[in-house]
Amino acid sequence: MTDHSDATAVEASGDKTVYLLQHCDRAGADVHDIDFRHMVGVILRRKWWIAAFTMLAACVGIAYALLATPWYRAEAVLMPRDGGVGSGLSSTLAQFGGLAELAGVSLGRNSTQEPLGVLNSKGFARRFIERNNLVDVLTEGNTPETGPLEQANASHIRDRAVDEFTKSVLDISENSKTGLVTVGVEWKDAAIAASWANAITRQVNDEMRLRALAEATRNIDYLRDQLEKTDAVSLQQAIARLLEAEMQKVMMAKGADEYSFRVIDAAQPAANPERPKRKLVVVVSLIAGLFISTLVVLMVDPIREAFADTAEP
């Protein structure tokens, strides 16, 4: 019978010798057990150091969460309004495509994409910033005052304000299923963020209404001029239909405040900041401190032993 220890059997028969060796994994298992016990022992010996470092990391996280500038998010939910007049006259305009093209009337245009494109454009952001005098606010008062050099840098500073506004402040998103458009604004003050979101909604409606009014007025002038020049009855009837459509556009533009977007939910000041997430910051700093301190503790002894071996003659 053989036990779990290494065994060697020697059998001699004449000049022939046979060696029987038995391999045992107890030594390897003992090594792993010893390594694990050694790690646990190291951690227990330096548990107060680990606890102190972990608490220090947690205090740093708490300090950051309390001292960091809070950013609040306000959202206005909008529903794009379809151009009922243009869609209702699509068949009529299709019959007189050449005349409609000359008049500047677009055929088959998606009326919801144009205001959404304007809302996402940098030009709209620039106009909003200039209308509300936000260059100083967005650039933290770095606007130049007077002088040729300062005036030359003014355009660059305005461009920087526009980039800051479009990248960090304004967020436009569209729900592909419902078609709802969300105007999100993040700023350091909850009330200001809500007022900006609502002001953006009003401005895009005003701009689209004025644009539609100018386009319809220009088309009416052209169609009236063509109506006076032609004697064909059928062509006069077609122009009359187009005139009626453009006049209805003018009526809609003058009478509707929410011309392109209907406000479903106006922006309200947020009660809690969007960032930083204070609880998350504290939890992450606590876990990171525990992990880093434990890792450092386990690496100290091997590093010391390596330096001690190299120092020996």
Look up residue 153 and give its amino acid: N
Residues 301 and 299: their CA atoms lie apart, in Å, by 6
- Report, as an integer, the average pLDDT of 33-42: 74
From 3-7, 137-141, 157-161, 288-292, the region with the lowest mean pLDDT: 3-7
CA distance 128 to 287: 44
pLDDT of residue 100: 53
- The rounded distance, in Å, linking the Cα atoms of 145 and 245 is 50
Classified as helix, coil or strand, 229 is: helix
Percent of the chain beyond pLDDT 70? 73
Question: Tokens in use for 148?
Answer: 């040729």
**% pLDDT > 90, the chain:** 40
For residues 264 and 78, the answer to whether their CB atoms sit within 8 Å is yes
Backbone angles phi, psi at 186, to 5 degrees: -115, 125
Which of 77-91, 131-145, 225-239 shows the lowest mean pLDDT across its residues?
Answer: 77-91
pLDDT at 15: 54
Q: Is the pTM of this model over 0.85?
A: no
Integer Cα distance of 215 and 263 in angstroms:
24
